[in-house]
């Protein structure tokens, strides 16, 4: 029965990841906590394994379209790999109550981002970005400008600094709460570059896959026990759900998806806050 339940929970997480491009781990952790009665510290590593696998699959699916900005993903992941062990150490040291409160705050931040993004039209939110990008290097407002000739990001010190700091924050949250960080990476890439939503999501998925892999490797290196009998069905469900979600996503307006997911996050945050005595 437990295997069926974890597989179903993983499928739900994968569908959310496929529909929204981010936020799978944010939902995975509370689902494991409530479905299996785990603490946040127990749920976070399993959620991270599942979301890392799903993000890797999403990256491979997006790669042929040439919308993955792999250099940006490597910089994000490199900074994240450096900070992920700090999050793991903090998660082991902090009381579960504090972690629940921190997670509730993260959920509310993610929900606010989703609601803000949903104010755009569905066409703007899910516009496909071809490469090269005509006229992209004429925009002086973006910190990270894109070459019209190659479609690549033009690397400058401010651009590298912003993306590296984003990666460091992502890695810290991956280790601390088991979240992938796509809900942070996607809006930052959209804010500091002229990338489309599709390109930002694809790049975020690669960064999440790499950062999550580093966090999982660090956890195993520090002898953190992972219940593979539960984790593997959860991962399998997440992968199946992610591909199903990607097939459904084009049929649903992006603003509807984002508003619905934001409301779901607010509800989960409220429940966690009540449990944590906030």
Element of type H or E holding 179: none
Cα 224-177-236 angle, rounded to 5 deg: 70
Coil vs helix vs strand at 153: strand
User: Which domain range does residue 56 map to?
Assistant: 2-275
Instruction: Report the chain (278 residues): mean pLDDT per 10 consecutive residues.
Output: 82 79 71 83 82 84 88 93 85 81 80 70 42 40 79 88 92 78 80 81 87 78 75 88 79 72 77 69
Place of tokens 């942070």: 184
- Spatial distance between the Cα atoms of 132 and 224, rounded to a whole number of angstroms: 44
- Spatial distance between the Cα atoms of 81 and 88, rounded to a whole number of angstroms: 11
**Residue 135 confidence (pLDDT):** 33
Residues 202-239: b if buried by 16+ CB within 10 A, e if exposed: bbbbbbbbbbbbbbbebbeeeeeebeeebbbbbbbbbb
What is the DSSP secondary-structure string of 123-140?
A: HHHT----SS-TTGGG-S
**Residue 117 confidence (pLDDT):** 67
- Spatial distance between the Cα atoms of 72 and 75, rounded to a whole number of angstroms: 5
- Spatial distance between the Cα atoms of 153 and 144, rounded to a whole number of angstroms: 6
How far CA 95 is from CA of 100, 129, 225, in Å, comes to 9, 44, 18
The tally of domains found in the chain comes to 1
Coil vs helix vs strand at 146: strand
**Residue 131 confidence (pLDDT):** 40
The two most distant CA atoms of the chain are separated, in Å, by 58
**Residue 116 confidence (pLDDT):** 73
- Spatial distance between the Cα atoms of 44 and 116, rounded to a whole number of angstroms: 27
- Spatial distance between the Cα atoms of 122 and 128, rounded to a whole number of angstroms: 12
**Residue 167 confidence (pLDDT):** 92
């Amino acid at each position: 029965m437990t295997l069926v339940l974890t597989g179903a929970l993983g499928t739900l997480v994968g569908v959310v990841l496929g529909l929204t491009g981010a936020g799978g781990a944010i939902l995975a952790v509370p689902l494991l906590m409530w479905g299996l009665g785990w603490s946040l510290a127990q749920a976070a590593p399993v959620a991270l394994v599942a979301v890392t696998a799903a993000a890797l699959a999403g990256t491979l699916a997006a790669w042929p379209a040439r919308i993955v900005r792999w250099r940006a993903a490597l910089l994000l992941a490199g900074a994240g790999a450096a900070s992920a062990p700090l999050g793991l150490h903090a998660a082991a040291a902090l009381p579960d109550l504090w972690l629940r409160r921190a997670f509730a705050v993260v959920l509310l931040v993610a929900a606010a981002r989703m609601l803000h993004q949903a104010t755009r039209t569905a066409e703007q939110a899910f516009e496909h970005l071809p490469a090269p990008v005509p006229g992209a290097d004429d925009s002086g407002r973006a910190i990270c400008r894109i070459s019209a000739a190659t479609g690549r990001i033009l690397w400058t010190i401010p651009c590298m600094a912003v993306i590296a700091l984003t990666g460091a924050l992502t890695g810290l949250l991956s280790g601390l709460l088991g979240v992938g960080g796509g809900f942070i990476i996607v809006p930052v890439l959209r804010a500091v570059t002229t990338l489309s939503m599709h390109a930002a999501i694809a790049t975020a998925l690669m960064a999440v896959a790499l950062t999550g892999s580093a966090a999982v490797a660090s956890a195993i290196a520090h002898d953190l026990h992972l219940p593979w009998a539960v984790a593997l069905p959860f991962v399998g469900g997440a992968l199946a759900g992610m591909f199903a979600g990607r097939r459904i996503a084009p049929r649903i307006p992006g603003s509807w998806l984002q508003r619905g997911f934001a409301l779901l996050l607010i509800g989960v945050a409220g429940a966690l806050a009540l449990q944590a005595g906030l």
